[in-house]
A = this chain, B = another copy of it.
Amino acid sequence: MKAPITLLAVVLAAIGTTTAVNAALPDPGMEIDRARTALVITDPQNDFLSPKGVTWGVVGKNVTENNTVENIETLLKTAKAQGIQVFISPHYYYPTDHGWHFEGALERLMHDIGMFDRKGALTTEGFEGSGADWLERYKPYINDGVTVITSPHKVYGPETNDLVLQLRKRGIDKVILGGMSANLCTESHMRELLEQGFEVAVVSDATAAAQVEEGDGYEAAMINFRFIANTVWTTKEAVQKINDAK
């Protein structure tokens, strides 16, 4: 109990808000080393990002305000141009998943509205253009034969898929993270990647979340990203750092 934050707070109060913000919570930052850094995008799928997707009614406003669709594309384009490896962690449900005995609140909702549904693990019937498919404009980047498409995560984090292994098998230990949705899969990916010893920079406007009467998922995520990640960047900052990296 040697250096109470209370003291810190007093000092900070004395020197003004902006400094206080920086001083109170450190911002460790993250240096990009191109060979060891990946862009990871969670759930870049129609059900979150298309006006026809099943969740547009609750995420559409936030997606639009953040310019999320364009920002994710900008990250994909920049990473490809600069030789940063890209990993996509999708979310799919198969018919057997509807036999689960219990679910958390959003899991229940996603199952009820048929979100991310596919007809099976070993068939692509009906997949093209469905809510589970990639947003059309991302396909050139994701389906180029180089981008690593992991197995689907089945709750929110990468604990149930091969993302961590795929990153490690390529010597990656730093992740630039974006995608949908901010306080669910994106945040669970950030948390698990940190538990596994990665550095994570979250891109705050390359994501968005449901804003409902029970709460603003985007606001919650922004607080937790700032508290937990190694650093938080805007898309503009991320692009510049990728371009400047060696």
Contacts and interface: CB of A to CB of B under 8 A. Distances in A.
Interface of A: 1-9, 12, 17, 20-21, 24-28, 46-47, 52-58, 94-97, 99-106, 108-109, 112-114, 120-124, 127, 130-131, 145-152, 154-157, 159-162, 164-171, 173, 183-184, 187-188, 191-192, 194-200, 210, 212-217, 219-224, 226-231
Contacts of A210: 227
A113 B24 contact: no
Given A214-B226, A223-B217, A151 B156 contact: no
A21 B213 contact: yes
Nearest to A190: B104
A123 B197 CA distance: 26
Given A151-B162, A183-B227, A188-B191, A8 B104 contact: no
Contacts of A196: 159, 164-165, 168, 196
A192 to B, nearest CB: 7
Contacts of A219: 219-220, 223
